[in-house]
């Protein structure tokens, strides 16, 4: 058996199933989108078995993109969980056969409540299709495994259709990156879009600062006591004029300067790169990577150093580029 060829053939067959369903999409999909867009309650996605797992994923994706959505296991529905349905809801039912007993058992109650049903099914003659408000044709000729029985292509198609509906709804709502970040505050995406420099920078007594007339012994003490391996250097007016890092200390020694009474201006990097507190942390990360620096002075609009940002702060916070 040629495993690589087999895998490629299977992937191409499932891709073919999606393309065939895409070619059959008609105006009914617009009806489904409008039902979801105008829903005053929540979207309840339901299904059984493998189709139920796909339904759970669809509900999760909807919820993460601005649509209030939950998953209702059809078997739990017939044992009491139908109480979570509200007259203002919309139901999405996922079932390839459209005749799954648990699913067809809850349809009468849903219709009694006059709650719209969007069916994602491969059987347009099924009980689900006949009772749905809108039926999306998800038919596939066969499951693409040796016996044609295990849900493979049918669940792939249902998932792809669910994703397409979610993205279309997202666009119709003008849902943007900032909105997305609000629903993902703890993840990498949220950190990239929400976390600002001011949330991570070292301020107040943690912010290392020496005057430009200070000597290197004081600068070294400041760098060591604050634990950041650097210090801001300010002029008499309090504005940032330079920065001294561990690397600058090594270069000082290489130049043969060993006198710690040396004035900091003889060692510092003048007019260092800086950013402001309100800027995004991910922009600071990209800026630091582009400029190959690990410490970044943070200044206010008047160029007064209000903080220090270290690359480790960004990494520890989970901000990645």
Give me the phi and psi of 145, to 5 degrees please.
-140, 165
Average pLDDT over residues 89-111: 96
pLDDT of residue 193: 61
CB 134 within 8 A of CB 119: yes
Starting at the earlier edge strand, list the strands of the sheet with 69-73: 69-73, 43-47, 90-94, 117-121, 134-137
Q: What is the pLDDT of residues 161-175, one digit of tens each?
A: 999 999 999 999 887
* CATH superfamily, with its number, for domain 3-175: Glucose-6-phosphate isomerase like protein; domain 1 (3.40.50.10490)
CB 298 within 8 A of CB 283: no
pLDDT of residue 97 exceeding 90, the answer is yes
Closest CA to 277 of 202, 217, 166, 182: 202
CB 220 within 8 A of CB 248: no
**Strand 240-245 to 230-234 pairing:** antiparallel
Segment holding 136, helix H or strand E: strand 134-137
Average pLDDT over residues 231-253: 95
Question: Domain extents for the chain?
Answer: 3-175, 197-316
CB 71 within 8 A of CB 56: yes
Q: What is the pLDDT of residues 255-294, one digit of tens each?
A: 998 899 999 999 999 999 999 999 998 899 999 999 999 9
**CATH architecture classification, 197-316:** Roll (3.10)
**Strand 69-73 to 43-47 pairing:** parallel
pLDDT of residue 317: 81
Give me the phi and psi of 67, to 5 degrees please.
-110, 125
Average pLDDT over residues 7-33: 94
């Amino acid at each position: 058996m040629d495993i690589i060829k087999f895998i490629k053939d299977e992937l191409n067959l499932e891709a073919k199933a999606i393309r065939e369903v895409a070619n059959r999409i008609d105006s009914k999909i617009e009806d489904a989108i409008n039902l979801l867009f105008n829903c005053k309650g929540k979207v309840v996605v339901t299904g059984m078995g493998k189709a139920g797992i796909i339904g759970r994923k669809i509900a999760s994706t909807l919820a993460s993109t601005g649509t209030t959505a939950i998953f209702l296991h059809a078997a739990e529905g017939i044992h009491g969980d139908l109480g979570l349905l509200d007259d203002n809801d919309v139901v999405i039912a996922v079932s390839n056969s459209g005749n799954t007993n648990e699913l067809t058992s809850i349809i009468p109650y849903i219709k009694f409540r006059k709650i719209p049903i969007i069916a994602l099914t491969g059987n347009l003659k099924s009980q689900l299709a006949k009772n749905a408000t809108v039926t999306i044709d998800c038919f596939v000729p066969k499951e693409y495994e040796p016996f044609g029985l295990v849900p493979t292509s049918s669940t792939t198609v249902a998932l792809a259709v669910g994703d397409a509906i979610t993205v279309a709804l997202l666009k119709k709502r003008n849902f943007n990156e900032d909105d997305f970040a609000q629903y993902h505050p703890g993840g990498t995406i949220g950190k990239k879009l929400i976390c600002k420099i001011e949330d991570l920078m070292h301020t107040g007594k943690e912010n290392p600062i020496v005057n430009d007339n200070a000597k290197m012994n004081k600068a070294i003490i400041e760098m060591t006591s604050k634990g950041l391996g650097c210090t801001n250097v300010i002029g008499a007016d309090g504005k940032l004029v330079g920065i001294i890092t561990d690397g600058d200390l090594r270069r000082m020694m290489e130049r043969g300067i060993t006198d710690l009474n040396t004035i900091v201006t003889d060692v510092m990097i003048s007019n260092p790169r800086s950013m402001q507190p309100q800027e995004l942390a991910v922009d600071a990360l990209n800026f630091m990577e582009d400029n190959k620096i690990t410490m970044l002075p943070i200044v206010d609009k008047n160029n007064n150093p209000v903080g220090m940002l270290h690359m480790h702060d960004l990494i520890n916070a989970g901000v990645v580029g």
